[in-house]
Amino acid sequence: MRFQISLARLAAAVAIAYASTSAAQDLPALHSHDPMAVDTSAALNAQARMEDADTALALSADGALLYGAQPLKMDGYQYCSQAVALAEDGDFRRSARAASQALYLAQQGKDSELSARAYRDLAIVYGYAGDDERASAFANEALKIPLKDPSKVVGPSRKVLGDVATRQGRYADAVIAYRQAMEASSAQYRPLVQLSLANVLIDQGDTNGAREQLQALKATQIDDSLVNQVQRTEARLLLAEKKPAAALALYQQMEQKASGSDAGYQRFWAEDGIARSQLALGDKTQAAATWGNALRKLDEVRAQFRSDEFKIGLFSNVQNAFEQAIDLYSQNGDAAQAFDLSERSRARALLDEVRDRAKLHSDLAGTITVSELQKRLHPDERVVEFHALPGRLLVWVIANDGIREQSYPIPRADLVRLVDAFRNAIIAGKRSATGAADQLGELLIKPLNLPAGVRLTIVPHGPLHYLPFQALRVDGHYLIETHPIAFTPSISIAMQLIQRGTSARGTLVAFGNPDVAPQYALPGSEAEVKALATAFPGSELYLHGDATKRQFERMARPTRLIRFIRASCWPAKTARCIFWKRARCWSWICPRSRW
């Protein structure tokens, strides 16, 4: 089967994969989003309800329901212990549920000590999950409660505030928060805070202060579980002190001594440090090879690093290692290896996102090589894959006869601003949107020299996920006018989903052009759903007076996939499918109705 025809099944396949990760609680968010609403107060109320879902009151209510459904009930402090253990294991959803049950029991028993610990645990789990706003809010709630034994709550809560400040680059605030946490921590917890302080001082450029903290820490008796983390911080400090040879020796020692259940984790970060040391010594080729080797073995390591990283305030993201390696391979002229690592980074990000929530790990762990991809492409097809690095934008164009790499000197921060400005101009209906489409088309697409009429599979990255490529213009023509276009977050995952096939039923339930008012008529959406219906035998269409909210709610409850056509902004020949899962969106543009 031709590649472009196979892509036709991809939207359903990916949507099914993600639908399997969603719980029944996702449906109210969909139901409350009425795209035809005229009164903005309804939308504001819906947004407020969504925000309320994570307030302490709502969490307490959730805790009551969860507690009532538990066949074996524990006391509130046991739920707190469970919440911490689950958070450290990366199971954030169950951790939040355990903390919410503790909060409910605290409120029922008017136990302020338990309330503070529940808020502390919520702060920790949201911190591990990377939600800075809620982590800070719950940490501050915990700090408001007077306690007989503040060491159990104040130290960890202050540390969460320090972690948030560190991630946000507010190093001075982080230093203050960590010092406050040290003063209020128990003797057992204080070394963790001290390591966090040492790491943020390194980030701040205060190597003398970091060295002082490490020496003080080494003078005390620390738990064996912290030895590796202390060495890692020591090696980081040596690099910051411009001693790469000494750092390299320490990282190599850590790699050789990696052992236990976390040996893969320890070895990965040791190899990451080895690569950074080699780069500091000026050996780009060897650094790229070391990173490449470490990243290709990453599938052997557990999918979640956040717990250990957050414990010591060292937020070295796995994606940062991918970016360093991709950048180096590109600089060394090895486009195929750079592309391979870009694909691995996408698959890795997906696995981290859906860990414990979807059966994708064994199926989607591998990636497709350039040579394999070339064999599946026809002469009239191109894969255009982007990767936004901190300092530049890389693009690979893969055809059946080779791969070309293009580098644009556009920092990621500037790319964010460009995409936001273009989207805002479109949303506001400004005339400048056309000029911006021309400028972005000239900047991003024209240098690729894509032959007219070839089918494009665009693989965006970072801020480019929010860029409507089909609306870009080259030489006065919209890209959608000159090229059939499909989108996928990863070409490797796309191909594997195509090979795996889909269990989706060949049926469709679609709503279009409801009778609201003449000025809100959507004839384009009506034409689209009618065109789609021809591809699905036994389709059910609800148009005009039949397209009601009540009818939608009736049909939505048993439905796993929901399709909204929100505006008639595309010609009838173009089918625009959007599968929503909360804030996540997958979109395929299938020109000429070639499903």
583's tokens: 């804030």
- 3-17 pLDDT, tens digit each: 433 333 333 333 323
Q: d(Cα 469, Cα 453) in Å, to the nearest integer? A: 15
Q: What is the pLDDT of residue 481?
A: 93
**CB 475 within 8 Å of CB 437:** no
DSSP alpha helix (H) spans, 428-490 = 432-440, 479-482
**How confident is the model at residue 262, as a pLDDT?**
75
Sequence-distant (≥ 6) Cβ neighbours of residue 401 within 8 angstroms: 374, 379
Residues contacting residue 413 through CB under 8 Å, at least 6 positions apart: none
pLDDT tens digits for range 294-337:
988 876 665 444 555 556 656 566 788 899 999 999 999 999 99
Q: Is the pLDDT of residue 240 over 60?
A: yes
Q: How far is the C-alpha of 566 from the C-alpha of 546, rounded, in Å?
A: 17
CA distance 236 to 385: 33
* DSSP letter, residue 71: S
Contacts (Cβ under 8 Å, ≥6 apart) of 436: 421, 422, 425
- Tokens 């994570």 locate to 54
Q: What is the pLDDT of residue 589?
A: 32
Cα 571 from Cα 428, distance rounded (Å)? 21
- Which of 85-89, 99-103, 268-272, 328-332 shows the lowest mean pLDDT across its residues? 85-89
Structure tokens at 90: 């990366």
In this prediction, residues 414-437 reach a mean pLDDT of 92
Dist CA 595 CA 586 (whole Å) = 17
In the chain, where the domains are located: 22-50+505-560+562-593, 223-348, 368-489
Question: Which range, of 61-75, 355-369, 405-419, 495-509, averages the lowest pLDDT?
Answer: 355-369
Give the H or E element holding residue 580.
strand 575-581
Taking residue 116's Cβ as centre, other Cβ atoms within 10 Å add up to 24
* Mean pLDDT, residues 377-394 taken together: 95
Q: Which amino acid is at 203?
A: D
Burial grade of 225 (CB within 10 A; 0-12, 13-18, 19 or more): exposed
- For the record, the structure tokens of 494 come out as 């796309």
Amino acid of residue 61: A
- Confirm or reject CATH 3.30.420 for domain 368-489, answering yes or no: yes
Q: Which of 6-15, 69-78, 334-343, 572-581 has the highest mean pLDDT?
A: 334-343
Q: Look at residues 453, 460, 328 and name the one whose alpha carbon lies nearest to residue 396.
A: 460
Is the distance from CB of 457 to CB of 381 less than 8 angstroms?
yes
Provide mean pLDDT across the span 521-529. 83
**pLDDT, averaged across the chain:** 77
Query: What was the pLDDT predicted at 466?
Result: 92
Confidence band (pLDDT; 50, 70, 90) for 423? very high
**Residue 459 Rama label (left phi>0; alpha psi -120 to 50; beta):** beta
CB 462 within 8 A of CB 412: yes
Contact predicate 275/294, CB 8 Å:
yes
In the predicted structure, residue 1 carries a pLDDT above the cut 80: no
* d(C-alpha 157, C-alpha 117), whole Å: 9
Cβ proximity of 193 and 181 under 8 Å: yes
Helix ranges (H only) for 225-313 are 227-240, 244-257, 263-280, 284-296, 306-311
The residue that leads in pLDDT, 539 or 343, is 343
Question: What is the arithmetic mean of pLDDT over 101-108?
Answer: 84
Residues 368, 383: contact at Cβ < 8 Å?
A: no
pLDDT value of residue 219 = 84
C-alpha span between 328 and 321 (Å, rounded)? 11
Whether 108 shows a pLDDT value over 60: the answer reads yes
The mean-pLDDT minimum among 95-109, 462-476, 536-550, 581-595 falls in: 581-595
Work out whether strand 381-388 and strand 455-459 pair parallel, antiparallel, or are unpaired.
Answer: parallel
Taking the domain 223-348, which CATH number applies?
A: 1.25.40.10
Q: Residue 62: pLDDT above 50? A: yes
The amino acid sitting at 297 is: K
Q: What is the mean pLDDT of residues 364-393?
A: 89
Lowest mean pLDDT among 5-19, 44-58, 153-167: 5-19
Average pLDDT over every residue of 560-575: 43
